[in-house]
Amino acid sequence: MGGTVLVTGGSGYIAGFLIRQLLDTGWTVHTTVRSLSREAELRPRLGGTAETLRFFAADLTSDAGWAEAAQGCSHVTHVASPFPLTVPKDAEELIRPARDGALRALKAAKAAGAGRFVLTSSFAAVGYGHPAHRYVPGHEFTEADWTDLTNPAVPPYMRSKTVAERAARDWIVAEGEGMEFASVNPVAVLGPVASRDLSTSIELVKQLLEGAIPALPDVGFGIVDVRDVADLHVRALVTPGLAGERFLASGPFLTFAQIAKILRRNLGHEARKVPTRRLPDWIVKAAAPFSASIKQVSSELGKHRAASSAHAMERVGWTMLPVEQTIIDTARSLIDQGIVKV
């Protein structure tokens, strides 16, 4: 198709793959980074030329730079959002930048005359705070589901993504006349890495390979390939008639033990540090009061959070790579780049 598109958060994992796919298909790309000092590092990784890829300084917490970044863009995809490795004490540390950043991107897109806005939301805005009977094998969450923020047990990151997506959709109804809005809601995103700046999901695979996780808790998550997530964003940008759409992006739900088995089966000696022992639930629960991170793991014990991607497949013709390939490509890139020493 081509045209000019703003992709926010150009230093991020999903954004990097999305920018490369857009450049490869003839788009001119604007992207935001918190500091233009990152441009020299990112440009060789992302590709393009000075004419086809332009960098702009903009931060989720400030109005500065957003209008300039969106100027001349017919399409916008807002990928930037905080995703910490540790659990903050105050949920507002995540909620404010996630919500306010999405609204800043929307306002800039509207002012620039963009006709299509795609928000990178998350399964975090879909599958949390629900009754226990929905977290069993056989049940799948769909785009109709929303994380229940009235449940105080919903963690800060899940709150931030839910609040941000709801705020964006409310803004579109009230202020976004003439602009089509859609969201992409991926589960845990894995796949090959391009740098040592690792996402939280990739860190889990890294820790398994390094033996930093000594035993395997009864915890799992849905997995999707970063290359497929980028492709779904492109489809959401260019497919006609998607106003209001929401697309879950999820492959199968796998436990830590299943991921570890895939790594050992395919990597042989290079996976020798991957644990084999199971971590009893009682140990996780006993340690939970002393660590916010372990407390979050404890809350996931035994829960099966599966999601259906049938809507994305039917509506925009989306497909996914096999999950085993995704896991092995993740591990192989970590090893090949020397991020994990084997």
Tell me the pTM.
0.95
Residue 233 burial by Cβ neighbours in a 10 Å radius (0-12, 13-18, 19+):
buried
Burial 278-303 (b: 16+ CB within 10 A, else e): ebeeeebeeebeeeeebbbbbbbeeb
CA 283, CA 140: separation in Å to the nearest integer?
Answer: 29
Q: What is the pLDDT along the chain (342 residues), one digit of tens a residue?
A: 679 999 999 999 999 999 999 999 999 999 999 999 999 999 999 999 999 999 999 999 999 999 999 999 999 999 998 766 566 677 888 899 999 999 999 999 999 999 999 999 999 999 999 999 999 999 999 999 999 999 999 989 999 999 999 999 999 999 999 999 999 999 999 999 988 888 888 999 999 999 998 899 999 999 999 999 999 999 999 999 999 999 999 999 999 999 999 999 999 999 999 999 998 888 888 887 877 667 777 888 889 999 999 999 999 999 999 999 999 999 999 999 999 987
- Give the sign of the dihedral formed by CA 228, CA 190, CA 149, CA 168: negative
Q: For residues 228 and 331, give the distance between their C-alpha atoms in angstroms, rounded to a whole number.
A: 17
Q: Tell me how far CA of residue 111 lies from CA of 3, 107, 108, 259, 320, in angstroms.
A: 17, 6, 5, 45, 35
89 is annotated as an active-site residue: no
Write the CA distances from 260 to 76, 284, 323, integer angstroms.
Answer: 38, 19, 13
Q: Which of 110, 161, 206, 303 is catalytic?
A: 161
Question: Which pLDDT belongs to residue 35?
Answer: 94
Fold type of domain 3-336: Rossmann fold (3.40.50)
